[in-house]
Structure 1
Amino acid sequence: MYKYIFAEKFFLEGKVEGPGFLEIKDGIFGSFSENKLGGAAEIIDYAGHWIAPGLVDTHIHGFKNHDIMNNEFEGLNQISEGLLSCGVTSFLPTTLTSSTELLNSVVGMIGTQYRNVRGAKIKGIFLEGPFFTEKHKGAQNTNYFCNPSIEKLKNWQGQSNHMIRKIAIAPERKGTAEFIEYAVGEEIAVALAHSDATYEEAKQAVEIGASIFVHTFNGMSSLHHREPGMVGAAMNLKDVFAEIICDGHHVHPAAANILMNARGRDQTVLVTDCMMAGGMPEGNYQLGEFPVEVKAGAARIEGGSLAGSILQLKDAVKNVVQWGIATPEEAIYMASTAPAKSIGLDVECGKIAVGYAADFIVLNPDLDLIATYLDGVCRYHLRKEGVQ
């Protein structure tokens, strides 16, 4: 059955249109037109509102008091359902550095169960670690740090039914070149993170195939005029994506603007790095094996280091617009199409385009989330939370 979404503005691939009608048939996007096409069809009226692609969070550890590393399907499902209230329709459950045995179990659980979640769609797994170095460890457990291992990656691919979509490594570790070549050959996006690499070491990794810088500025060697480091590489190298956490705690808005201007907003990816305290009151939580205190909007481990965030992706979009460093169109792109492109999934999500699953969000002109749709069905509504 056909139905049409009527709205003031539509954020389509490469352009903004409206007012008009967006066709949906059997959960799939059809065409946009200024006037309704075809015969009798249901019209869903969002006059005065904006329609944007469902957001894609490619770096998220937990939500609503659940952590991916707890290795529980019901927790994974609760994260998936909770993300609909954040405007997220596709995501990569993200692991932490841990024992090989626990990582085996976690990726195995996700690979077996990913089709059974009832909320935002799981599009793969992001392995954040364990191939890092200590200086910029962040909230990663150094007891499990090691050199990149093709055998371990092969094992995780097998355990997960080939759901590994992205893996982060420190490029200065031994065996990096061979590892990157193998991973890229397996269509796994290689990201650089938790690293004290020089600019040249990062550049060499990118030349071999690494293509993403993880939470840029955080967990990496900083920019210096005589040694540009990882931050300089994230800004200056060609054809890479730079993640950034725009919660106002991880990165100053001016620094975020500098990155976006250098990298280009088409290659800047808004992520949350959200942990289990997302969507929860302030207090004490866990990030993997580390106790975390959430206070004044930030999550920190003992000693004061940031431990992920409690950011919701819809708020990252709103933040960068309110900070005056992105237009609404750019902000939405950085949270939908750019993340999908960064992991090679823009062929199936992150866009409003003919033939794509009708995963989209409804915003008011202040960029407040009003509704989230999966496959053309309203699954979250601000005034009717829990809509199925």
Structure 2
Amino acid sequence: MMKAIINAKIYTEDKVIHNGYIEFNDKIVAIGEGEYSGEAETIDAHGNMLLPGFIDIHIHGGYGADAMDATHESLDMLTQGLLKEGTTSFLPTTMTESIPRVTNALESIATFESQGAEILGIHLEGPFISEHKVGAQDPKFVIRPTTTLINQLQQAAHNNIKIITIAPEVEGALDVIQHFDDIIFSAGHTTATFDELNNAQSKGLKHITHLYNAATPFTHRAPGAFGAAWLNDNLTTECIIDGVHSHPAAVDIAYRLKGRDRFIVITDAMRAKGLGDGVSELGGQQVYVNGNEARLKDGTLAGSVLKMNEGLKHFMQYTGESMEHAWRVMSYNQAVALKVDDRIGSIKVGKQADFVLLNEEFNVLCTVKRGYNIYNK
């Protein structure tokens, strides 16, 4: 059934359409400016902003669910909840836990058919990380990578592993980075030096996991992982923009250095997102949520409770970027990295009908997924 969103401020790939309309079924059929005269069922945007649906490539959970629960019921809770924040596609992200538990989670995700936000694949965060930079991961499950083990995990995931967070300096890391062309290897939870990270990029490393967290910092004599992330144009860089994980100025610096095409907003959210303050869980460890912070008992940050629409608001506040360009760090750059930009990540005729309608306060008024799953506030 054809539908149309009318009276919208539409951010397309190449321009902003004021007082525009967009006609769609499961895909975008037409985009225009001015009064809509078609016969489709209409949704009045009342002049609010229409953006492509957000894509979160690093998220453990939210709304009471976690990818490591390894149940379809939990995944359904998460995929439905994400529509409330404008996220239409995502990569459920696993934790550094036992291989049997990780395998169960991979199999559950791979066999789940979402009726909410679309699962584009899986982000494997660990267990191939540094025991010296575990963050909120459990160090007893840290192991070294091998091609055999990654093949086993990929088989359990039905070839749906798209990103693996890895410490490129650990034994075996460079071997697997060079071996798998179909996986995005991302440096994170790492003690890699500036030179080690750049060398890993030359071997096939493509991405940086949650910049500024659980990696070697920048100093003027040892630029570290952060310096390599800033300066290496072949590395895309994700960042948790909740005002807790990184200072606003640090976000601004990263964006200025990475540019519009290589910067990606993520949430790294955990189970407690959307549930308010209280005690929650991440990777088998208790997490205490207070306001916009989620921490282990010892004070270590344990993911976030950030929503993508809030991440966009913070990003624009911290960088001063306009919406004309800001939407790209929420969807387009992710789609390009995952090689799905032919069908999602921007508003263009022929692409999938994935939208989010925001007001000036960045509140989600409506989310459309594949044209038929419509969340209205």
Normalising TM by the smaller chain, what interval? over 0.9
Q: What do the CA deviations read for 1:315-363 (whole angstroms, capped 9, x no partner)?
A: 0001122335322233321111112222222223211122221010111
| Residue 285 of structure 2 is aligned to residue 278 of structure 1 | no
| Runs of 4+ that moved beyond 4 A | 35-39
Distance 1:325 1:348 in 2: 29
| Match of residue 230 from structure 1 | 225
Work out whether residues 55 and 89 of structure 2, in 8 Å CA contact, stay in contact via their aligned partners in 1.
yes
| Match of residue 385 from structure 1 | none
| Match of residue 9 from structure 1 | 9
| Match of residue 48 from structure 2 | 49
| Match of residue 83 from structure 1 | 82
Distance 1:231 1:318 in 2: 24
Shift of 1:23: 2.1
| Residue 195 of structure 2 is aligned to residue 196 of structure 1 | no
Distance 2:23 2:255 in 1: 33
| Residue 289 of structure 2 is aligned to residue 294 of structure 1 | yes
Q: 1:139 to 1:189 in 2, by over 3 A?
A: same
Secondary structure at 2:111's aligned position in 1? helix
| Match of residue 213 from structure 2 | 218
- Normalising by structure 1, we get a TM-score of 0.93
Secondary structure at 1:101's aligned position in 2? helix
Distance 1:2 1:368 in 2: 26
- The equivalences for 1:1-388 within 5 A come to 1-24=1-24, 26-35=25-34, 40-113=39-112, 115=113, 117-183=114-180, 185=181, 187-377=182-372, 379-382=374-377
Letter in 2 for 1:75: S
Shift of 1:17: 1.9
Distance 1:87 1:233 in 2: 32
Secondary structure at 2:5's aligned position in 1? strand
- Mark the runs of 5 or more structure 2 residues left unpaired by the alignment: none
Q: What do the CA deviations read for 1:152-194 (whole angstroms, capped 9, x no partner)?
A: 11111111111111111001011222201222x2x11111100
Shift of 1:377: 2.8
Distance 1:365 1:239 in 2: 34
- Normalising by structure 2, we get a TM-score of 0.96
Work out whether residues 199 and 233 of structure 1, in 8 Å CA contact, stay in contact via their aligned partners in 2.
yes
Distance 1:355 1:303 in 2: 50
Secondary structure at 1:19's aligned position in 2? strand
Paired residue total: 377
Distance 2:85 2:36 in 1: 32
Q: What do the CA deviations read for 1:18-40 (whole angstroms, capped 9, x no partner)?
A: 2222121x310123222568853
Distance 2:224 2:88 in 1: 34
Shift of 1:299: 0.5
Work out whether residues 67 and 288 of structure 1, in 8 Å CA contact, stay in contact via their aligned partners in 2.
no
Work out whether residues 255 and 319 of structure 2, in 8 Å CA contact, stay in contact via their aligned partners in 1.
no
Secondary structure at 2:48's aligned position in 1? strand
Letter in 2 for 1:88: T
Work out whether residues 129 and 142 of structure 2, in 8 Å CA contact, stay in contact via their aligned partners in 1.
yes
Distance 1:73 1:3 in 2: 30
Q: What do the CA deviations read for 1:188-227 (whole angstroms, capped 9, x no partner)?
A: 1111100010011100111111111010000100011111
Secondary structure at 2:253's aligned position in 1? helix
Distance 1:8 1:62 in 2: 31
Distance 2:238 2:361 in 1: 24
Shift of 1:11: 1.1
Distance 1:309 1:228 in 2: 27
Shift of 1:254: 0.5
Shift of 1:367: 2.2
